[in-house]
Amino acid sequence: MTDASPDDPHSPAVCLDVGSCWTKAVLVLPDGTPAGFAEHPTTPDVLTGVDAAVAAAAAAAGRGRRAAPRVLACSSAGGALRLAVVGAETLIATEAGHRVCRSAGARVVGVHPGPLETDAVLELSSRRPGAVLLLGGADGADPAVLLHNAGRLARTRGHWPVLLSVDDDARADALGLLLAGGRAVTTCPNVTPQPGRIVAGPARDAVAALYARHVLGAGTGRFGALVHSATHAAVGTGAGVLARLTGTEVLVVDVGSATTDVHRSGPGPGPAAATVEGDLGVRDGAVGVLTEAQTEGVVDPVEADLLGPAVAALQESRATVPADRGAAAEDRRLAAIAAVVALRRHLRHTGVLADPAHPGTGDTPVDAGEIGLVVLTGGVFRQRDAAGLAAAARTVRHDAVLAPLLARAEVRVDSESVLAPAGLLAAHGREVAAGGLLAEHLTG
């Protein structure tokens, strides 16, 4: 068999989503009918799992076809961006790191205050960071510790880039040290310009850009030629198609193993909004879900204790699937909690909700508009337990913070995982197939 023409919307396509734990493939016919589904644990070399999933899904096309289905691929194989923070003082560095990571696809994996010495450098390296945020204190502060740390990071082995967020007076010297050591550097305005004040926006945007490059995973060779977009971009495109089909504002929450993404899209030409929570997921991010849910008051201490053993097991197991109905229920509950926390964060980040943790920011919420549809998607929701999925939807609908905004919205569960494939189809000029796929499974 030979590959179908890349521009032929009348041929079937295999829509491939390479996740950090699972690789999923669905064969879609030109009218949007799904004709085959397969999944495989994401393999260390990525391609073994890709080939297995694609072959299994494409087999549904039948032997009589003269051309192999076109493969349309997206990836989140890189998972969340692991960010280490190096700063002058523990509390401010910790808070700055978490604020910078929030909604930008990253999570803090270590905070290293004061001058970096050998033990601290070894600990930082052991955290396997994907990037390092280097802080220098308030504007006008003594740059001695910053320059010491820049020199140590420049000499430390590892391929991670440095995000340099310091005051203007010290930036050139710190940058020179880092570049002299061959370190890749992104600069941005000072996150901590005054004592006790954190300005996270510019650094958060820089982290989001680093995440966008990181999340694809292995970006060279055959895999790099196959994958040109991130999974969150495909889901966002699918959300846009769904909004146009339904003629309403749509919120999509994609709960993954390592991250939870939220997309908001309307039926008109206005801009869409998207956030990626790097500390919320049902495998690598499971501990973060439980921690943040307690902070937000979504779960009480009793439930947290009950879920604790399951969360610890999920964090370690990665690509495991629930072994029984009880484990499946815990999976769904964790996913529903992640969706609630991610939705709250998204609505705060976009100004719809005020942020009680940071008074003065977003105290005058913007108009939320008419949210008509909320969709929960992600592999964890690909289950056949209708009652369990309905319970997950109710968790979102009846959340105390979200309920007023979702009063007229319908909450649906994408139990067939069609949103990412629909987005891939639409991005490759297959609007008919994308619309047919969503109409069959999410708008009926």
Above pLDDT 70, what percent of the chain?
93
pLDDT at 10 (0 to 100): 83
Six-digit token pair at 114?
């004061």
pLDDT at 61 (0 to 100): 65
Determine the average pLDDT of the residues in 220-224: 84
CATH of the domain spanning 81-214: 3.40.50.2300
Residues near 97 by beta carbon (within 8 Å), at least 6 away in sequence: 83, 85, 87, 108, 111, 133
Six-digit token pair at 296?
């937000």
**d(Cα 174, Cα 176) in Å, to the nearest integer?**
5
**d(Cα 331, Cα 379) in Å, to the nearest integer?**
11
Six-digit token pair at 81?
């961006």
pLDDT digits (tens, 9 = 90+) for 355-381: 876 655 544 455 556 899 999 999 999
pLDDT at 211 (0 to 100): 97
pLDDT at 6 (0 to 100): 53
pLDDT at 435 (0 to 100): 97
pLDDT at 196 (0 to 100): 87
Lowest mean pLDDT among 109-123, 147-161, 218-232, 239-253: 218-232
Give the CA angle between residues 91, 97, 98 to the nearest 5°.
Answer: 95
CA distances from 11 to 6, 7, 27, 68, 252 (A): 9, 9, 11, 9, 28
Residue 104 confidence (pLDDT) above 90: yes
CATH architecture of the domain 2-77+221-228 equals 2-Layer Sandwich (3.30)
User: In whole numbers, what is the pLDDT of the chain averaged over residues?
Assistant: 91
Place of tokens 């850009």: 209
Q: What is the pTM of this model?
A: 0.92
pLDDT at 369 (0 to 100): 66
8 band by pLDDT with thresholds 50, 70 and 90:
confident
Determine the average pLDDT of the residues in 60-88: 85
Query: Residue 81 forms beta bridges with which residues?
Result: 106
444 band by pLDDT with thresholds 50, 70 and 90:
low
Residue 306 confidence (pLDDT) above 60: yes
pLDDT digits (tens, 9 = 90+) for 415-432: 999 999 999 999 999 999
**d(Cα 119, Cα 44) in Å, to the nearest integer?**
30
393 band by pLDDT with thresholds 50, 70 and 90:
very high
Six-digit token pair at 336?
């529903």
Higher pLDDT: 2 or 114? It is 114
Name the helix (H) or strand (E) containing 111.
strand 106-113
pLDDT at 65 (0 to 100): 57
**d(Cα 163, Cα 140) in Å, to the nearest integer?**
19
